[in-house]
Amino acid sequence: MKNKALKRLIYSLWVLLVLLSFFPFKSYSSISTNTLRIQNDTVINNSGFKIKTIIIDPGHGGKPSASTGHYSHGASGSYSSERNVTLAIGFKLQAAIEKELTGVKAVMTRTTEDDVSFERRAEIANENKGQLFISLHCNSLSDRTIREKVGTKRHKAVYRTVRVPDRSGKGVLILVYGLHRTREEESAIQKNQVGEESELDGGALDPNDPMTIILTNEYKRKFRQQSIKLATLINGEFTDTDGRRSEGIREQGIYVLCHSAMPSVLVETGYINNPDDEKYLNSEEGQNEIVASIIRALTSYKKEMEQVSQ
């Protein structure tokens, strides 16, 4: 009993040290379900921390329908599909990360056109001990419904409702996980982060243990604020450096974002059903520019997170 009590004391002191020195936070405010605004960026970083593994998640993939046998490959343009565009950008980003960011390994959740489930994507991220998760997607707008006149009957106009493509969307959008899925994120953190710490207490993880709750909340706060930080950097590169239109940073209930126990962002690289964006997304120049913007953001993020606090 005495040994166990001593263990608990040591573990509690260790947790306190973690809370005081390990977790870098950044102040931010004005979070809504539509737009996130970042203010008062003051970062305190822990010494010795290094980013070693970044997960790249090319969105969607070929998934045959049970009824038709046809593939569902995410959004589509007039001649291209999301599954192919995101995979091409993903490979370029992987190569650029391993070339430009010294000592960093980039792991892909999908390397073929075949689909990978949301659950498996998150598992790959956690199994590889990723420290950042970047999901790549192409945006699209649903068809609009309009009423058009088709003739007259008994001196009255006759209309019909038709669907027409909406190609008005343009530019980038960055997503972070929605707060309404907090419990799912807490579960992922407990399994993949706090679970390892519980070994110091000589037993299995107890989700109701105060130390578990404290660590989970601190990891959650850290990951959310760092997700917003990375999203802000990427968005700034797209708009300020590349001059692209942006719809900003929003939160959304994305499965892979809240189930990956690490800072995570989803990058909507453009509207594939917009003719201009589709041409850009399929061009070497456009893909290289997207990758270069993300690399610049990652370089800034990595430098900031790894700097030694004074």
The reply to whether 201 falls in a domain is no
The reply to whether 38 falls in a domain is no
The reply to whether 54 falls in a domain is yes
Number of domains comprising the chain: 1
The reply to whether 22 falls in a domain is no
How many CB atoms are located within 10 Å of the residue 38 CB? Answer: 19
User: What is the Cα–Cα distance from 223 to 212, expressed in whole angstroms?
Assistant: 16
Residue whose structure tokens are 């390994």: 105
Average pLDDT over residues 92-105: 97
pLDDT per position as a tens digit, 252-264: 888 889 888 899 9
Residue span of the structural domain in which 302 resides? 49-139+169-182+223-306
Of 179, 43, 196, 217, which Cα lies nearest the Cα of 129?
A: 196
Contacts of 112 (CB under 8 A, 6+ apart): 61, 87
Average pLDDT over residues 109-137: 94
Q: Which tokens hold the place of 264? A: 């995570």
Residues 118, 67 contacting (CB under 8 angstroms)? no
Identify which of 6-10, 153-157, 265-269 has the greatest average pLDDT: 265-269
Strands 36-37, 156-164: parallel, antiparallel or unpaired by DSSP? unpaired
pLDDT per position as a tens digit, 53-83: 999 999 988 754 444 444 456 889 999 999 9
Host H or E run for residue 162: strand 156-164
Q: Which tokens hold the place of 13? A: 């002191």
Which of 17-31, 127-141, 155-169, 205-219 bottoms out in mean pLDDT, i.e. has the lowest? 17-31
The reply to whether 109 falls in a domain is yes
pLDDT per position as a tens digit, 137-181: 999 998 777 777 777 877 788 777 778 778 889 999 999 987 666
User: What is the Cα–Cα distance from 119 to 109, expressed in whole angstroms?
Assistant: 11
Task: Decide if pLDDT at 84 tops 50.
Answer: yes
- The domain that contains 80 carries what CATH number? 3.40.630.40
The reply to whether 39 falls in a domain is no
Contacts of 294 (CB under 8 A, 6+ apart): 93, 134, 234, 237, 267
Average pLDDT over residues 8-30: 46
The reply to whether 82 falls in a domain is yes
The reply to whether 190 falls in a domain is no
Identify which of 1-5, 32-36, 101-105, 155-159 has the greatest average pLDDT: 101-105
